[in-house]
Amino acid sequence: MSFGGCAGFMGQEPLRVNVAGVAPLEGEGLEMRLNLKLRVQNPNDSPVEYDGMSLELELNGEPFASGVSDQRGVVPRFGETLIEVPVTVPAFAVVRQAFAFGNSEHAGGFPYTLRGRLGGGMIGGTRFVHEGTLSLPAAP
């Protein structure tokens, strides 16, 4: 996982972002909604203030969900924080992944790529990319 941007430019270690949890939310119409909990770790000796987050989630190499959060806060020096971001999954993405699941060799998990931006700070925020394997929750 890399969290590039200004931190690397200023000689600091990049922040680390990992998916800490996924929970279903009530959707509208044909869309599905999920609440992603992201753990942001700061391995540096100065705190990082943030003001909002945006992200896009790819599942099996295909666009799957996107979301934004207006949360504000601080990732403490040598500390971590959880940021929750509600994401929307369009109906077409659900259908596409259902077909992929039927033909999947991934035995309960899907490879994902999470791309986003932690807002605030210098020069518009800090971008990040994280890759891993995701198990989707059952619908509510």
Percent of the chain with pLDDT over 70: 73
Please name which of 110, 63, 62, 57 lies closest in space to residue 87, comparing C-alpha atoms.
57
Longest pairwise C-alpha distance within the chain: 47
pLDDT per position as a tens digit, 66-113: 999 999 999 999 999 999 999 998 877 766 666 566 555 555 677 889
pLDDT-based confidence at residue 3 (cuts at 50, 70, 90): very low
Please name which of 6, 17, 7, 13 lies closest in space to residue 129, comparing C-alpha atoms.
17
Output the CA torsion 130→76→117→133 (10° steps).
Answer: 20
Q: How far is CA 79 from CA 19, 46, 74, in A?
A: 16, 10, 10
- What mean pLDDT value characterizes the chain? 81
